[in-house]
Amino acid sequence: MKLLFENIDEPGLATREVYERRGGYESLRKALAMEPEAVLAELEASGLRGRGGAGFAMGKKVSFLPKGSIEKYLVCNADESEPGTFKDRELMQKSPHMLIEGIVIASYAAGASRSFIYIRGEYVQQADILDAALVQARAAGYVGEDILGSGHSLSLVVHRGAGAYICGEETGLLDSLEGKRGNPRLKPPFPANQGLYQGPTLINNVETLATVPAIIRIGGEGYAKLGTDTSKGTKLVSVSGHVKRPGNYEIELGVPSREIVYGLAGGLSEGREVKCWFPGGSSSPVLTKDDLDLPYDFDSMAKAGSMLGSGAIIVVDDSTPILDVALKVAKFYAHESCGKCTPCREGTNWTVKMLERIETGEATPMDLEIMASVQEHIIGNCLCVLGDAMAMPIGSMIAKFRDEFERHIEQVRAAHAPAAGAPALTGALA
Amino acid sequence: MTPKLRQEIEAKMALYPDRHSATLPALEAAQRVYGWCSPQALEEVAEAMDVTPAYLESVATFYDMLETEPAGRHSIYVCTNISCSLLGADELFRSIADAAGDDPEFNVRPFECLGACDIAPIASVDGVYVGPLSTEDVPQLLEDIRCERPVLPNKQLVKRPCADPGASA
Ligand SMILES: Cc1cc2nc3c(=O)[nH]c(=O)nc-3n(C[C@H](O)[C@H](O)[C@H](O)COP(=O)(O)O)c2cc1C
Ligand code: SF4
Ligand code: FES
């Protein structure tokens, strides 16, 4: 069942004409003929959970916005910078009108009159495509004043970021959109009450909003028939790393993970096996080949000690040292930490240094213990979850591949052990 | 400041209920004109936006795509994050950096995940994504940039079909 990718490679789908020929903007007409409360009821009935990482029920989030005539905002999170994630990119590039239609319908349900798409600055081509689609949507009266005579009005601006992972975190994003450094804010207050310009704000991921037209088309209940009890619907999965056919796939939630890695993405190259895989971007604790038969859905991944996150599966084969993986991951979070909280700023930097000591043979197995406990001290002690986003995968690697770390420490130390009579090496490798 | 740049910044400010929201678009526009967020660029943006240069500088230093030092005219971001590095990105980065040498036209930088791990290892050349790249592509890549031609036309991301076999063409 394809809802988002149904016509994705149709030539010209990014234009209004072709999108409309495929039934585009019919859902918007249908929604505008309903009361906003009825549209919201469909969203709640669908059970759609946010596709940006946290998996919070979308309908419920809309219902948290205060009622009444105060100015409300809708912000689409198109920052997509969780390593391994590239699904929103393909959607925006090939089907920009689907996102615009979803935003207009969601704004109607939420009573929002101003909206923004915050797109990461690196997505230059996709932002240009969105801008072009927006011009067409405005000309057709789908965006702007009194949309299709419904009385509902919405402005929409494509806002380009400038390269900072932390701006994907919703409150960092809001500060960035207000023209500041993208530092996360203390929560509460939550954006639903005090978000952009202190006003009530609905923030959703691109894929979440792009799913809205399909929900209106097939009905909330129809959508809820797809997937599992607690993970409804279809999901875009970005598969990358050591697989033969990396790319985006639309799956029904709950399919076996093996079917995604080996079926859709073609498995690994001849003779190689899965060493570990990230089920939800580089922030998710790694799983091993023994976990491949788990259904791919929110709860199964959580039960296995990891998370579905943004739906980005990164596959690492058995020829790759786990230390290399850990270093890459830790360096990324150290670079992207905004520095506001001590455990995150110091913990990410310290972890990188520790891993480098392991690499050069200066560490002892005791240091693994300390490193594991540092990860535990980061978790839950910061303003946003960026610190956790490093601590969780690194912690999982130490727990699951401890032997390999220890062997590495021993091997490097042995290789550099001073010959009898020679002066002992101190500090870094001579 | 050129009248065109001022117009662009004013048009951006008009899009938002609060003019400060135009900060990133304004800095990006100024960087396009001056090559980087130079003191002069910041002064002029500050004047057009009625904010202080210090404020703009504090914002500019936060974002990877805003250059706070003089930089080459052509940016080449090479992703060295996890999925790309599993497929040789670190070697690719070194190869591009070596080949570009100290040519002042190029701004070669290692970058975090660019959101195109499906064509790993990848680079973004002035915003155009190309991949999967090998070190053998490097001479052509630099040559295309030097000649102001489209870079590696058959490796451009925007031309790729969706990997999902169920997505109808
Ligand atoms: C460090 C960090 C980075 C994030 N990056 C993104 C991102 O790039 N895109 C995104 O949609 N959500 C991202 N999120 C999640 C958002 O904070 C937020 O939960 C999401 O945009 C809500 O939309 P949804 O409910 O539709 O998923 C990130 C969260 C954190 C803590
Ligand atoms: S946890 Fe890290 S990234 Fe998040 S606010 Fe604190 S220092 Fe910044
Ligand atoms: S890791 Fe290189 S594009 Fe994602």
What pLDDT, in 10s, does the model give residues A167-180? 999 999 999 999 99
DSSP letter at A186?
A: P
pLDDT category of residue A424 using cuts at 50, 70 and 90: very low
State which ligand 3 atom lies nearest to the alpha carbon of B79.
Answer: 2
Q: Is the pLDDT of residue A87 over 90?
A: yes
**How are beta strands A234-241 and A247-252 bridged, if at all?**
antiparallel
- Quote the pLDDT of residue A415: 84
Residue B149 φ/ψ, nearest 5 degrees: -100, 165
CA nearest to B13, candidates A5, A294, A52, A179: A179
- Quote the pLDDT of residue A318: 97
pLDDT category of residue A419 using cuts at 50, 70 and 90: low
Work out the minimum CA distance from B112 to partner chain A, whole angstroms: 7
CA distance linking residue A261 with residue B71, whole number of Å: 41
* DSSP conformation letters of A353-412: HHHHHHHHT---HHHHHHHHHHHHHHTT-SSSSHHHHHHHHHHHHHHHSHHHHHHHHHHH
Q: CB of A18 within 8 A of CB of A94?
A: no
- ∠ CA(A136), CA(A139), CA(A141), 5° rounding? 110
Q: Is the pLDDT of residue A428 over 60?
A: no
Q: Is the pLDDT of residue A68 over 90?
A: no
Q: How far away, in angstroms, is A163 Cα from ligand 3 center?
A: 14
Torsion sign (Cα): B129, B131, B135, B137: negative
Work out the minimum CA distance from B86 to partner chain A, whole angstroms: 6
Q: How many other β-carbons are positioned within 10 Å of the β-carbon of residue A250?
A: 22
- Quote the pLDDT of residue A210: 98
Q: Is the pLDDT of residue A284 over 50?
A: yes
Task: Name every residue whose Cβ is closer than 8 Å to that of residue A112 and which is 6 or more positions away in sequence.
Answer: A65, A72, A73, A74, A106, A154, A202
Per-10-residue mean pLDDT for chain B, 169 residues long? 92 97 98 96 96 97 96 97 98 98 96 98 98 98 97 96 84
Element (H, E) at A115: strand A114-119
- Which stretches within A269-385 are classed as H helix? 298-303, 322-336, 342-360, 365-378
Q: Name the residue of chain B whose CA is nearest to A327's CA.
A: B82
Residues of B in contact with A245 (CB under 8 A): 163
- Quote the pLDDT of residue A413: 84
Q: How far away, in angstroms, is A52 Cα from ligand 1 center?
A: 5
Specify which residues A238 forms β-bridges with: A248, A312
Please state, in angstroms and as integers, the Cα–Cα distance from residue B161 to each residue in A12, A247, B70, B118, B119, following that order.
Answer: 13, 10, 38, 11, 12
Tokens of A101: 């239609």
- Quote the pLDDT of residue A83: 97
Q: How many CB pairs under 8 A join A and B?
A: 182
Q: What is the 3-state secondary structure (H, E, C) of A20-50?
A: HHCCCCHHHHHHHCCCHHHHHHHHHHHCCEC
Q: What is the 3-state secondary structure (H, E, C) of chain B?
A: CCHHHHHHHHHHHCCCCCHHHHHHHHHHHHHHHHCCCCHHHHHHHHHHHCCCHHHHHHHHCCCCCCCCCCCCCEEEEEECCHHHHHCCHHHHHHHHHHHHCCCCCEEEEEECCCCCHHHCCCEEECCEEECCCCHHHHHHHHHHHHCCCCCCHHHEHHHCCCCCCCCCC
Q: How far is CA A245 from the centre of its chain?
A: 21
Q: Is the pLDDT of residue A317 over 90?
A: yes
- Quote the pLDDT of residue B168: 63
First to last CA, chain B: 48
Tokens of B80: 């060295």
As a residue count, chain A comes to: 430
Residue type, B103: D
CA distance linking residue B50 with residue B34, whole number of Å: 20
CA distance linking residue B164 with residue A9, whole number of Å: 10
- Quote the pLDDT of residue B42: 97
**What's the pTM?**
0.96
Residue A366 φ/ψ, nearest 5 degrees: -55, -35
Q: How far away, in angstroms, is A385 Cα from ligand 1 center?
A: 10
Work out the minimum CA distance from B169 to partner chain A, whole angstroms: 5
Of B76, B78, B81, B112, which is best to mutate to test ligand 3, by the most ligand atoms within 8 angstroms of its C-beta? Answer: B81
- Quote the pLDDT of residue A196: 98
Give percent helix, percent strand, percent coil of chain A, each to the nearest 5: 45, 15, 40
DSSP letter at A298?
A: H
Residue type, A380: G
Chain B interface test: which of A240, A268, A275, A324 (most B C-beta within 10 Å):
A240
Q: Is the pLDDT of residue A427 over 80?
A: no
- Quote the pLDDT of residue A69: 87
Residues of B in contact with A269 (CB under 8 A): none
Q: Is the pLDDT of residue A32 over 70?
A: yes
Residues of B in contact with A164 (CB under 8 A): 62-64
As a residue count, chain B comes to: 169
Q: Is the pLDDT of residue A378 over 60?
A: yes
